[in-house]
Chains A and B, each alone.
Chain A
Amino acid sequence: MSDSPVLTQDALEAAHHAHPPYQRHHFETMDQQNDATNFAMWLFLLTEIMFFGGLFTAYLILRNWYYPAFVAASHQLNVYWGSLNTLVLISSSFTMAMGVWCAETRRKSGLVLCLTLTFLLGLVFLGIKTIEYSEKIEKHHVPGFHYSLQSFLNPASDPAAAQYGDKPLALDMARKTELYFFLYFAMTGMHALHMIIGIAILGFMIFRARAGAYTTGHVTFVENFGLYWHFVDIIWIFLFPLLYLISRHQ
């Protein structure tokens, strides 16, 4: 027992080199810790890209298969709500980026302001999404037992379809509009779920930022959350043209 290797106090202190309190012991330097967390966050985002990628691919293939149905169904979306939401989301990405800068330069009140603005813009986005969803619900365009083909079998009866001069679809093609709305709700719903999770984390971060948690030089959490928020923005950057814009003239 007595001859088992025992570190002297000096040796312990030498092994335990000086480091900031937020540096984990298993990292040699802060640089190494920052690189590792940044790498891990990007790996997570890559899994997210693959996840949304499946939905995008499904949309691409089914749009090619059932082209007339996807064109007619996309005419049901309001390009103005979509554009407004794009502006809201890009602005929230900007305020988030400014939040990261505030954290890096240790501006506490600036950080709280930026995070709060990002939080509010996120809520505005979801609010506009709610308006759009309720329009779909009212018109029975939610896939399921109560799905209505009226806008596609008789487009003249529906102002949204009539403004594009849509021609009536054959019944079998009209049925495929349900697939469009299935993908619409799957993609925007999954995107909205990411927004809801992001907004919840933002709420927590505002609370912590007010206590000065992210303005001590340790900005990893804010930075990585920023990556997540910008990623959600990028998903919308692709959803917006695919769902709202590319079928307007067909």
Chain B
Amino acid sequence: MISALMDGVVLGLQYGLLGVGLTLIYGLAGVINLAHGQVAVMGAIVVSLAMEADVPAVPAILIGLAAAAVFMLLVDATLMRAVYRQEGESRILLGLLIMLGVGFVIDGVLEWRYPIQQLGLRIGGEPIPILGVPMSTGSLLATAVTVVIGLVLVVFFRSTALGRGVRSVIQDEQGAMLVGIDPARVRTFVFGLSGLLAALVAVTRAMTGPVGVSSTISFTILALIVAVVGGLGSVSGAFAAGVLLGVVDRLSSFYIGTYVTTIILLLCAAITIVARPAGLFGRSH
């Protein structure tokens, strides 16, 4: 039970980080990125290919993160141009469909060229007991990385001009323009950041188990559920929802079975939409 809880927190923090990338793009651009998990796994595959080419682990990871970030920057600069010209419902639908297509393309390419390529990062060392539960060094490292990046994000959004700029565009795009912020540049930045964070989650997941093309869709679905439960556009909400859903995930697979976890998580998202449409941390206006 405690071990399932701890696993849930470890997993949940990573779910949170996965949701942050999705929620930021929705908040800024009104685009639901249905290729989020695909971009994450693509980054992980790049890392594994680099490591096979004898690049040491840390530089290989940086290459993978950069690849995912650059990919998202290119999406923003090309495919999304058509989306940004639309308003309201047609913008959301067009963005969703285009990103669904991008996801299929990434899936297709990965299945065609790298069907059995996987990223697994074995972290050596004996399990370390935390609250009496032996935690693998991989889990602990993944958690540490996620927590550090989460804190960096909090500081970034609270205390830097660019971070405040991102939040201002999410809250009121016209207000942002009137204080001298270029929403298009902020959007471009957030696309890159989102790709980087997605790939980072795939890398931390690889510290506890292999990540390959079979993980893409579940990553996307998880990111979507986390973003909905946390409130679309809310970074702190995404982390809180991630931890909550991680715990729900582990407990339901511990008491019932792995086969129901996704259904239970989807149920959580559905209940959130009915009970608190703006998410845990969102405000209904």
A and B interact physically: no
